[in-house]
């Protein structure tokens, strides 16, 4: 069964900001759970699977795929419009409720997100991807311990194949809760499962740097800055880490990349001011 979000990179949006877990994390959360109805369609009425033979079902599927594309480029309001159109065409389209619930949560409309996920959970309450998403919705509301409990349940699911994603999200939830030790442990697990994960790598390196573990932080941020997912944030963190280690050559080299690649960035202003500790 092909995925609606198969064209959306796990790390889409990562260059737009790694410390702020907005669009990038929304896409990562959804990347594993929204399935296409080109082969099956699950309705809320009786849970039966049927071939989507009607034009309305096919049109709804097209709208949901358009929503995925708008999310990929960060146009969340238009993505929401497309999801609503999909639901108008096919009110029983569970995948659309999955997407809309996450969008509502991203926008801070938690009541609407909870309402959508109540519908989803009644049909897919044992689906680890759904549980993962709901855990993140809880974390966004500040209900960190509840969210972490859902992540732990997901990670204990036999045969679960997206452990890196859930360890990362658990780590970010724990970080938001102020549990630095457990957040570091979770993000470390995420990077072990997926060394190329830019969100986990950046946030782990940043926490290690702030905690005085500069050499460990350097290991993660150097790998990130040598990957396609580096941005002004990651370069600036790398500069601060190299400066803390007394490596002025490393500072200059990363600074040159920052000047060349991101000339309009806030981080370049900080670099030019040598504001390493602001």
Q: 250-261, pLDDT tens digit by residue?
A: 999 999 999 999
CATH fit for domain 1-124, picks 2.60.120.10, 3.40.50.2300, 3.40.50.1360, 1.25.40.10:
1.25.40.10
Q: 41-99, pLDDT tens digit by residue?
A: 444 444 545 554 578 999 999 999 999 889 888 899 999 999 999 999 999 999 999 99
Q: What are the domain boundaries of the chain?
A: 1-124, 131-194, 202-278
Query: Does the structure show a pLDDT above 70 at 178?
Result: yes
Tokens of 99: 């997407």
More confident residue, 22 or 60: 60
Contact present, 28 and 229 (Cβ < 8 Å): no
Strand 41-42, strand 49-50: pairing: antiparallel
Q: 121-175, pLDDT tens digit by residue?
A: 999 999 999 999 999 999 999 999 999 999 999 999 999 999 999 999 999 999 9
pLDDT of residue 225: 97
pLDDT of residue 68: 87
Q: How far is CA 41 from the centre of its chain?
A: 26
For residues 61 and 56, what is the distance between their CA atoms, to the nearest angstrom?
Answer: 9
131-194 folds as 1.25.40
pLDDT of residue 202: 96
More confident residue, 55 or 28: 55
Residue range 202-278 in CATH 1.25.40: yes
Of the ranges 36-40, 73-77, 205-209, which one carries the lowest mean pLDDT score? Answer: 36-40
More confident residue, 196 or 39: 196
């Amino acid at each position: 069964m092909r995925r609606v979000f198969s064209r959306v990179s796990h790390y889409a949006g990562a260059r737009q900001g790694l410390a702020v877990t907005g669009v990038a994390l929304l896409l990562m959360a959804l990347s594993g759970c929204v399935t296409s109805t080109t082969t099956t369609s699950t309705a809320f009425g009786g849970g039966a699977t049927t071939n989507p033979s009607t034009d309305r079902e096919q049109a709804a599927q097209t709208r949901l795929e358009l929503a995925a594309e708008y999310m990929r480029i960060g146009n969340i309001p238009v993505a929401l419009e497309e999801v609503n159109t999909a639901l108008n065409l096919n009110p029983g389209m569970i995948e659309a409720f999955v997407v809309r619930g996450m969008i509502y949560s991203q926008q801070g409309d938690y009541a609407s997100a909870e309402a959508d996920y109540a519908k989803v959970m009644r049909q897919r309450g044992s689906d680890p991807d759904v549980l993962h998403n709901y855990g993140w919705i809880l974390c966004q509301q500040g209900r960190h311990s509840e969210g972490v409990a859902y992540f732990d349940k997901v990670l204990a699911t036999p045969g679960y194949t997206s452990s890196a994603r859930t360890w990362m999200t658990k780590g970010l939830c724990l970080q938001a809760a102020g549990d630095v030790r457990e957040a570091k442990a979770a993000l470390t697990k995420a990077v072990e499962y997926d060394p190329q994960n830019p969100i986990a790598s950046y946030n782990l390196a940043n926490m290690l740097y702030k905690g005085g573990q500069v050499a460990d932080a350097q290991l993660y941020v150097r790998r990130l800055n040598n990957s396609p997912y580096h941005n002004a944030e990651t370069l600036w963190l790398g500069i601060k880490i190299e400066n803390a280690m007394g490596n002025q050559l490393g500072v200059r080299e990363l600074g040159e990349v920052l000047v060349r690649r991101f000339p309009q960035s806030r981080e370049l202003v900080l670099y030019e001011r040598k504001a390493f500790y602001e």
